Structure 1
């Protein structure tokens, strides 16, 4: 693969809506397979999306991925290090210890916005600033959004920010394809349960005729046995 999506965004090359549609479709198609295996990527960003001269896209760098397996995730925190801050879902920023594949969809939404704007969408300097940028763009979330978080301090910071109720999202994307903006808005829902799923996104009007379920492979979920090492806090000697 000759380049990555991050380099394309920064380049002076023309990026039409057809290009963006094709890139987003391929990301969704690839992540449909990944999620069907019960795997969360957890670090989706433009630099981890390789592209060749035909605009074929491949998802790479699964170094931070994790299995979404109840037997494992219920035994302890899933937080570890998750995703580059700019693409990190709000539930992670607020300290959620357990989360779902919806965190990857938020990252895809941030990548989508970056392709439209040709610049980083929410380039926060730190966690608090990242929250501020999200609130300034999307407005304040519903109070129920904070009920599942253990980090009350982060929730308070989020709620006390001086921001518009509705945010700047509509103005920011006012002159873009309405179907693209509609899909983007559904990817960037605060609540993970309300965020559009991979399957729903593939059927969205913006994706159009690119969607072909017969050509969008899935696989069987990985077993807990393959990842049972994550259930134990092993030291150096145990790893040896």
Structure 2
């Protein structure tokens, strides 16, 4: 089950964290994985791990916020079967503490970047007579998270785009779903805590861990396993759905 043999998958932000876990697992299941990262160096660890295990992987340096560059990369890759829109950046701030430049930066990567990859991927999926798109949303699209105005706005847009794409391309055998993780322990989270809470990192890590009712953060491999299911043929009856993977955050935080 869950074989990706003879499939070609594109994973944006596939060089670290959740994206790396998805890239490694998809390659293990037989996919030819194309990682899109801002720089080739950012993808090198994932590329090395996949290659060492006999997997098929190619990295591409591209800023997902650059429309022309994204289209060019997808045309170079050619026909694809799977797109995972994982690339994204975080932000802390309320609406009145979010500078316009920060808001624009979040929108450019987390919204326009997803649009750019959706736009560029549809023609390549037509060449494969269909495909699967998986967008990375967030619990921030479901519930109010303090000090996450721009990020929540962007992830709400990602969830709405998921529904729109799922509806528009059903007749072309293209499915589209999304995943909404709660906090997942990645190097990105460690860096985020170090940058924003330098004086009480251990306390903040414990607080963020316990904000999930299950008592811990998620693991990248757990998100990757859900991504594999949603991008495999076994989930062929599923489209237009969002899947929280949140340790009970949305429904059990009471």
TM-score (norm 1): 0.27
Structure showing greater radius of gyration is 1
TM-score, scaled relative to structure 2: 0.26
| Greater RCO (CA < 8 Å, at least 6 residues apart) | 1
